[in-house]
Amino acid sequence: MRQITFTEAINEALRQEMERDPSVILIGEDIGVYGGAFGVTKGLIEKFGSDRVIDTPISEAGFIGAAVGAALAGLRPVVELMFVDFFGVAMDQIYNQMAKLRYMSGGQLKVPLTLRAPIGAGISAAAQHSQTLYSIFAHVPGLKVVVPSTPHDAKGLLISSIRDDNPVVFLEHKVLYGIKGEVPEEEYTIPLGKAEIRREGDDVTVIGIARTVWHSLEAAEQLSKESISVEVIDVRSIVPFDKETVIKSVKKTGRVVIVDEDYDRCGFASWVSSIIADEAFEYLDAPIKRITTPNVPIPFSPPLEQYILPDSKKIVNTVKSILG
């Protein structure tokens, strides 16, 4: 099977959905002629024109609000927020309008809107362009939150998100844009809310999301050389969350490490820890461990940035600490 990059997989998903469904439109800053800050929408304005690939002013509240209106009127907008860090200037449109209107209308209104945004640190983009923040969106009822880790999943999950009649926040780790993987040429969907076991194991479960899945797989490979068998779970979406796959794995291994690039306080890792403590406590042979980003702004300095982020070395050391 052919291999393409994460960026190319997202671009292909957008193109195929726009070809299939004339109600799909793209909205965002520099997504037209420039092709997006990370090149994700390159070539789409030439194919579909400026009526369907809409460059906007620098006004996140304006164009996300316009996208909500377009969704209510029957279109399927895909909005690009240039960096997830910029969500604050449009938060009312996201959590009071986009997230709540279907509920407030008693289901009479649909809001088929996909909000795409790059997330994550690792390229020295400093404190205002390097955050992860998926936990904030997951906290808001009415939003689905999807975070792929591979080109294959990026395409299939994005197509599913666009076709969903509910608002979906689709988050793309910017360090993953260049990775390659096998991706079918035809269109396909991946169900939202279904985790993937990336590597099977018996001694410890390691749960990752986005870039931390790759750190987890690297750590698992290193640990295998010491006869330690690690099961790696890629959650793929936070809302809906595949609790069953996680609990089944923890019951099998008896040990779990959750690896999360988001901030530690009130984060994804803490929430998953609480689920495991509630539903699989009696199966645990060691304390639940979390590897997260400390509650500090992301540094610009490359050494400091790498120091605070989860990585394979931290995973290896943590796994060994609970195996005794």
Q: Which residues are catalytic?
A: 60, 129
Q: What is the rounded distance in angstroms from the CA atom of residue 242 to the CA atom of residue 233?
A: 10
Q: What is the rounded distance in angstroms from the CA atom of residue 54 to the CA atom of residue 303?
A: 39
**DSSP-based three-state secondary structure for 77:** strand
**DSSP-based three-state secondary structure for 210:** coil
Q: Which letter does DSSP use for residue 96 in this model?
A: I
CB-based burial label for 187 (10 Å; 0-12, 13-18, 19+)? middle
CA 196 vs. chain centroid, Å, equals: 14
Q: What is the rounded distance in angstroms from the CA atom of residue 84 to the CA atom of residue 77?
A: 17
Per-position DSSP letters for 99-144, written without gaps between them? TTHHHHTTTSS----EEEEEE--SS---TTS----HHHHHTSTT-E
Q: What is the rounded distance in angstroms from the CA atom of residue 314 to the CA atom of residue 190?
A: 31
